[in-house]
């Protein structure tokens, strides 16, 4: 019987869960903070203590795996709409099963003495120094893959966005992001996010006045300004938003009711200047 060290068990599974959750965030285009990733990883690591239980029947083992996966995803990404949670959950489970499949294959081929799989939990008995080294290598490999994949994204994930308002127009490259689930709270209309400086020429005067006046009474009488709460890797807060006169997607007039939300320019980084919700396509 192999000796299991709790500290190594928790550290190994913390790292594995962090990588799996990072992969889930990347492939679903869902923004998440490092703190939430660590929280989700820690939740999964604590649940890895089931390796200390007697060997569970297949159905019970799978049921517990599904439950643990749900708890891990919830801890990492927080409360989501049902369809968004199911999407995150499905991607996380697929990544988990793929990882377990690879580990099991290596186990059968090489039969390493320091590797143990029980109740679908992976335990690798290695020294703390090697654990840190492998962690750095795995993280570096994952980040490298993300950068490589990001450079080869399909052109279909971008479009040309043209916004016309108050006699002015802004034409930019926009990214179609499945992670953009922002809604204007009252109408539940989709929201396009664009940098303040980029949209300066089409921004209504009411928003400019709002940002320079701090009187609460004044804010309550601004009819043309709405506010959208948001959470991102850069923090959380509210963004002022407005309806533009006309919006074109790849030079095709969009007839849907859409709001334009203004964010800090450093919130949008990359070869695009705006973020579009996927539902517009």
Domain ranges in the chain are 6-151, 155-280
Lowest mean pLDDT among 17-21, 35-39, 134-138: 134-138
Distant-in-sequence, close-in-space partners of 274: CB < 8 Å, separation ≥ 6: 161, 172, 173, 174, 175, 192, 193, 194, 195, 198, 268
Alpha-carbon dihedral sign for residues 52, 54, 58, 59: negative
pLDDT at position 246 = 93
Lowest mean pLDDT among 53-67, 97-111, 181-195: 97-111
Which residue, among 222, 192, 226, 227, has the nearest Cα to 209 in the 3D structure? 222
Q: Is the pLDDT of residue 164 over 90?
A: yes
Higher-confidence position of 142 and 6: 6
pLDDT at position 123 = 59
CB 23 within 8 A of CB 95: yes
**Angle CA 86–90–96, to nearest 5:** 145
- Compute the average pLDDT of residues 35-52: 82
Q: Is the pLDDT of residue 17 over 80?
A: yes
pLDDT at position 223 = 55
Q: How far is CA 37 from CA 31, 41, 110, 182, 221, in A?
A: 10, 6, 32, 21, 40
Q: Which CATH architecture has domain 155-280?
A: Beta Barrel (2.40)
3-state secondary structure of 163: strand
Lowest mean pLDDT among 151-155, 178-182, 184-188, 190-194: 151-155
CB 90 within 8 A of CB 28: no
CB 176 within 8 A of CB 158: yes
pLDDT at position 116 = 60
1: confidence class by pLDDT, cuts 50, 70, 90: very low
């Amino acid at each position: 019987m192999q000796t299991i060290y709790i500290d190594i068990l928790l550290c190994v599974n913390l790292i594995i869960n962090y990588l799996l959750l990072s992969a889930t965030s990347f492939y679903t285009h869902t923004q998440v903070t490092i703190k939430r990733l660590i929280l989700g990883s820690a939740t999964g690591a604590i649940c890895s203590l089931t390796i200390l239980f007697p060997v569970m029947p297949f159905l019970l083992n799978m049921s517990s795996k599904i439950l643990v996966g749900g708890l891990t995803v919830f801890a990492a990404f927080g409360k989501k709409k049902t369809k968004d949670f199911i999407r995150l959950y499905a991607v996380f489970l697929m990544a988990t099963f793929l990882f377990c499949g690879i580990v099991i294959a290596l186990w059968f081929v090489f039969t390493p003495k320091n590797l143990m799989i029980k109740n679908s939990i992976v335990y690798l008995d290695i020294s703390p120094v090697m654990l840190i080294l492998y962690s750095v290598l795995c993280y570096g490999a994952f980040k490298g893959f993300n950068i490589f994949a990001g450079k080869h994204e399909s052109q279909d994930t971008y479009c040309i966005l043209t916004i016309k308002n108050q006699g002015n127009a802004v034409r930019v490259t926009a990214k179609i992001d499945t992670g953009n689930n922002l809604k204007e709270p009252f109408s539940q209309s989709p929201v396009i996010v664009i940098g303040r400086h980029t949209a300066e020429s089409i921004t209504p005067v009411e928003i400019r006045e709002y940002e320079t006046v701090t009187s609460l009474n004044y804010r309550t009488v601004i009819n043309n300004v709405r506010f959208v709460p948001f959470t991102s890797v850069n923090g959380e807060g509210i963004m002022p938003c407005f309806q533009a006169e006309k919006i074109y997607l790849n030079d095709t007039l969009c007839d849907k009711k859409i709001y334009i939300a203004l964010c800090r320019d450093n919130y949008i980084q990359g070869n695009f200047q705006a973020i579009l919700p996927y539902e517009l396509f």
